[in-house]
Structure 1
């Protein structure tokens, strides 16, 4: 996992310069910037701002899944079950990754699929938007249609999902803290991290 803050302290050197959008796009090549993380982490809201700043298309995988299925995600869960949804999610993300460069926001469970993680590593740069439980709870309560939170104790469910998923999310190339701050601030953090990452040998391996 690459961290801009970690790089800033290596051998006492200053961190790499923040790349201008054109320079960042040039280093990105055909790769997608793939946002991963829990529901409520800000992948779509921050992702749209990031795409606009960088002059890249923004794609929300959940919207593409709904378009392909002709159903909403809650309807897919209710009608076909989670396993069928995850299979469709994997196939849609595989297709979308062929359309880079772009900013691609994925659903909370997408990165848990090993095949999807491998494909993202090949065709993109994964960015985990990591948020604390309190931040996530505050945000998800604004949208009561989350299928995985239709339980007697949504807070416990979210806590259990965090315990399960965070060790896997930690495999992402970059981690950015999604905190209780303006979306623009988190977007700027992503740009700094991406700039640092794209100026390291790891970005070309």
Structure 2
């Protein structure tokens, strides 16, 4: 190991919007590979002992993003298994910089599939108001960022989580 390289690196980091299947696919890959799975949204909720939606309401999006950035940095430094990031984690420049050199798979999903997976009545803080319209806006805004950090892109539309996991396994050594 060269000086300055991290002692631990995730085997793969999954990024993408809500409804892409990051957590589900991460769990499948972890089971297949016999490695741990970490989800930064779960990490934030566990550390704060409250739901992300409550953090948004009580403390605002900026506070949540600060917690999220810290959770991502810790997971990238500590976790050797499969890592799933929250949908907005890649919006921070410092997080994008930390992802450089990692194997990052963008799970791309279209609006129709994302909406059917997330549901239109689900309490997601980023979907307040016109849920479908907001999802469309987030996909349009964030897709170029996901593509920029990704080393691989896997389409999830019309695929089962197992098929998505198969596609990732085919891409990775």
User: Which of 84, 88, 92 is the aligned partner of 2:67?
Assistant: 88
Q: Deviations over 1:142-195 (max 9, x none)?
A: 7611111121x1111111111110011111111111122221111000111123
**Residue of structure 2 in register with 1:138 after alignment:** 116
Decide whether aligned partners of structure 1 residues 95 and 189 sit closer, same or farther in structure 2, where only a CA change above 3 A counts. Answer: same
Q: Map residues 47-126 of structure 1 onto 2, 5 A cutoff.
A: 47-122=26-101, 124-126=102-104
- Contact 2:127–2:134 at 8 Å: present in 1 too? yes
- How many residues are aligned here? 165
Runs of 4+ in 1 over 4 A off after TM superposition: none
Q: What TM-score do the two structures reach when normalised by structure 2?
A: 0.91
- Contact 2:120–2:132 at 8 Å: present in 1 too? no
**Residue of structure 2 in register with 1:34 after alignment:** 13
Q: Deviations over 1:70-118 (max 9, x none)?
A: 2110000000000110011001110111123110111100011111111
Does 1:187 pair with 2:165? Answer: yes
User: Which of 174, 178, 201 is the aligned partner of 2:156?
Assistant: 178
Decide whether aligned partners of structure 1 residues 143 and 118 sit closer, same or farther in structure 2, where only a CA change above 3 A counts. Answer: farther
Mind listing any 5+ residue stretches in structure 2 that lack a counterpart?
A: 1-6
**Residue of structure 1 in register with 2:143 after alignment:** 166
- Contact 2:90–2:96 at 8 Å: present in 1 too? yes
Mind listing any 5+ residue stretches in structure 1 that lack a counterpart?
A: 1-28, 196-205
Q: Map residues 16-31 of structure 1 onto 2, 5 A cutoff.
A: 30-31=8-9
Greater C-alpha Rg: 1
Q: Map residues 141-156 of structure 1 onto 2, 5 A cutoff.
A: 141=119, 144-151=122-129, 153-156=130-133
